[in-house]
Amino acid sequence: MQNYLEFNFKITPLQPWNEILMAELIEIGFDSFTEEIHGILGYIQTELFHEDQLKALSIFENENVKIEYSYEEMPNINWNEEWEKNFSPINIDDKVLIRAEFHESVPGMHEIIIQPKMSFGTGHHPTTHLMIQQMMDIDFTGKKVLDMGCGTSVLAIYAKQQGAGDTKAIDIDEWSVENSKENAARNSVELDIEQGTAENLGKENYDIILANINRNILISDIPTYVSVLNEGGKLLLSGLCFFDVDDILEVCKESGLTLKKKLQREEWVSLLLEK
């Protein structure tokens, strides 16, 4: 059981700043939202919250928008049950369906079964969707794959289902590691799952690296990812908003990567790069 804070943000004017605020909040650890008439409610694990980090968000310095907020500690809730109730299947181009065991299966679609638990915030759906969309066009056969920030390991599972060879899944969060182990078993795939960060890398090289995390982590960790990516290998990124793309591409270019494909969904972007 993890403790959560509920933030009540009043935003004037609401549009488009509600979307931009949510994107910035996700980057500092908020993992779900409810949209209200005058703003948004946002939720973050108590242990992840630092007031300084919130106040440093660029949106608070923007003269075109006024944001007021208050917050309170939430009563202890079983978030696994809450998220399970709110988790709906994700349909990617009528080809791939990410669903929980309790959802109906859809004939003709490739399925990935996950138990969302705490490692799957509802705000992350568009980025997961974009990553799978990019992955549908990549040949994974026999490739050595790394899924950084694996969450439920949905991407690592899909890579294995597409014929990937040894696949490693790493997440900083112990809940995600536990959940990934269950999901790998659920989909009958073998993953090497580890709790950690880019600091754990260095011993092995990969043909394809998947990293759906967030702007700041990616900016700091892309050079490490590239150091363990084989020549000609692919790096697939998401967790980015359209306004983060220039900063990310600068780091990618400095690290010797070439942009091959960019996809956008709502304000979210995914980039396919090659070494």
Report the residue from 7, 21, 40, 171 that binds ligand SAM according to the rule CB under 6 A: 171
Bond before 126 cis per omega within 30 degrees: no
| Site string (105-134) toward ligand SAM, x via CB under 6 A | --------------x----x--xx--x---
Q: How many residues bind ligand SAM (CB under 6 A)?
A: 21
Of residues 10 and 110, the one with the C-beta less far from ligand SAM? 110
| Strand-by-strand arrangement of the 39-45 sheet | 32-35, 39-45, 4-12, 66-73
φ/ψ bin of 129: left (φ > 0), alpha (ψ from -120 to 50), beta (otherwise): alpha
Residue 97 interacting with ligand SAM (CB under 6 A): no
Whether residue 271 contacts residue 211, with contact meaning beta carbons closer than 8 Å, is answered with: no
Question: 3-state DSSP call for residue 215?
Answer: helix
Report the residue from 39, 116, 233, 239 that binds ligand SAM according to the rule CB under 6 A: 239
Question: 3-state DSSP call for residue 218?
Answer: helix
Pairing verdict, β 39-45 and 32-35: antiparallel
In whole angstroms, the minimum distance from the beta carbon of 113 to ligand SAM comes to: 14
Q: Is 183 annotated as a binding residue?
A: no
Q: Is 128 annotated as a binding residue?
A: yes
In whole angstroms, the minimum distance from the beta carbon of 197 to ligand SAM comes to: 4
Q: Torsions phi, psi of 42, nearest 5? A: -130, 150
Cα–Cα distance between 131 and 56 in angstroms, integer? 29
Q: Torsions phi, psi of 163, nearest 5? A: 100, 10
Write the DSSP string, 101-130: TTSPP-TTSEEEE---GGG--GGGHHHHHH
Instruction: Report 141-170 residues binding ligand SAM (CB under 6 A).
Output: 148-151, 154-155, 170
Of residues 11 and 252, the one with the C-beta less far from ligand SAM? 252
| Site string (194-233) toward ligand SAM, x via CB under 6 A | ---x--------------xx---x----------------
Residue 176 interacting with ligand SAM (CB under 6 A): yes
Positions at the binding site for S-adenosyl-L-methionine:
128, 149, 171, 212
Tell me which residues touch ligand SAM (CB under 6 A). 119, 124, 127-128, 131, 148-151, 154-155, 170-173, 176, 197, 212-213, 217, 239
Positions at the binding site:
128, 149, 171, 212
